[in-house]
Chain A
Amino acid sequence: MTYAKDVVALARKDLLLEFRARETLPAMLLFVLATLVAFRFALPADASERASVGLLWVAILFTALLGITRAFIPEREQRVLDGLVLAPVDRSAIWLGKVVATLAFLGAAELVALPAFGLFFESVTWSTVAAVALADVGICAVGAILAAMAAAGRARELLFPVLFLPLSLPILVGGVGAAVSADPGRYLAFLALYDGVFAILAWASFEYVVTE
């Protein structure tokens, strides 16, 4: 129970920080819209339905990249992360708090992106929404721990996308597959598997990323 309270306190802190700074979320919203418009121009006029769904996923991934790159910036500046690590808190709660907060930001961006996609391209099916929801969990779970790794070194804003993209490729397969396939169940199950496996791994190993 105290674990849950810790996670809530940490997630609230991140949401509060964003509410004050108002930097990341507006950028994500604008970015995802602009990316979708750019894709519209980038595709030839007779592009297939499959191609445009793929681009929705790319837009979501890149928007997530934008948002998560900044995930540990408040802690990184002035080493505030030390303050959290010193506390008698399970370090995985720090990770989980970040995941919850990032999910909120990504979800907010998608609330804009999905209707926009429906408007610019074609309507969004339930399987796409389900896939996006499942994929979000994986993206945030993996993204949070990778962001902490990148934040520990130099050139962190350059490094995070490089770390994140290979691990996000299976999510891309699952997401696009669920959206275009006649049988989305397999792909959704795969996304759930991805989420489960990597979330457990990230949860268990976050401690080792922020301590020596």
Chain B
Amino acid sequence: MIRARGLERRYGAKRVLRGVDLEVPRGGFTLVTGRNGSGKTTLLRLVAGLAAPTGGELDVGVERGQLGFLAHEPLVYRELTAIENLRLYARLYRVPEPRERIGMLLERFALWDVRNQRAGLYSRGMMQRLALCRALLHEPELLLLDEPYSGLDSEGAELLDRELAERVGRTTFLVATHDPDRLAPLASGALAL
């Protein structure tokens, strides 16, 4: 589903990624590890299509509508409520039966009670859970997760574990993480930057 050869991304004189080869088959679960600044986020952004490679080849076999991205930032409007944010994204991703889907996700991530609060008032953990709702809203075939556990307390982490476990096999994963041990049981591949 994802194939990269000699992938390179420069920012001016600085080369953040050089000669990266990657192959993630459909249904695969690949971990991307590396120190801070090793280019994990950049790699994910390239695969997501938010940035273009400056060298090498990249082939991602899904359309935008089938791709879910949990970025470093939550990508939600702080002045809107959780419901309003998700409604907008549901519209943009053409999610069928949006109300039910939004309600279900908010419940699964324990955000139902705060659904009418402005996202700007959320704690770090709540924000991360909202971002996960956003990424999973349209049931994507390919999920790109950038440090998904960051900011989550133990409860939140358990919720995430459950969601990931449910999707392994049906969904393709590319996950950047500092803490590979937690996800090692699910992983079928790894890339060290």
- Complex partner residue of A16 from B51, B76, B84, CB under 8 angstroms: B84
B74 touching A87, Cβ below 8 Å: no
A79 and B71 within 8 A (CB): yes
- The reply to whether the CB of A207 lies closer than 8 angstroms to some CB of chain B is no
Question: Which range holds the interface residue count of chain B?
Answer: 20 to 34
CB-CB contacts of B30-51 with A at 8 A, as 1s and 0s?
A: 0000000000000000001111
- By a CB distance below 8 angstroms, the chain A residues around B48 are 86
> Looking at the complex, which of B14-22, B60-68, B178-186 is the stretch in contact with chain A?
B60-68
Say whether A197 faces chain B, with CB atoms less than 8 Å apart. no
Chain A count of residues within 8 A CB distance of the other chain: 25
Q: In the complex the two chains form, what is the Cα distance from A16 to B81 in whole Å?
A: 11
Judged by a CB distance under 8 angstroms, whether A155 is at the interface is no
> Contact at A9–B92, with CB atoms within 8 Å?
yes
Residue A20 interfacial (CB < 8 Å): yes
A78 to B91, CA, bound (A): 21
Residue on A nearest B45 in the bound complex, by CB: A82
Q: Could you pull out 18 A-B pairs where Cβ atoms are within 8 angstroms?
A: A5-B91, A6-B91, A9-B88, A9-B91, A10-B88, A13-B80, A21-B79, A78-B73, A82-B50, A83-B75, A83-B89, A83-B134, A86-B64, A87-B64, A87-B89, A88-B63, A88-B94, A212-B50
What 4 new A-B contacts, CB under 8 Å, besides A2-B94, A86-B64? A77-B78, A83-B134, A88-B65, A89-B92
A residues at B contact (CB < 8 Å): 2, 5-6, 9-10, 13, 16-17, 20-21, 74, 77-80, 82-89, 211-212
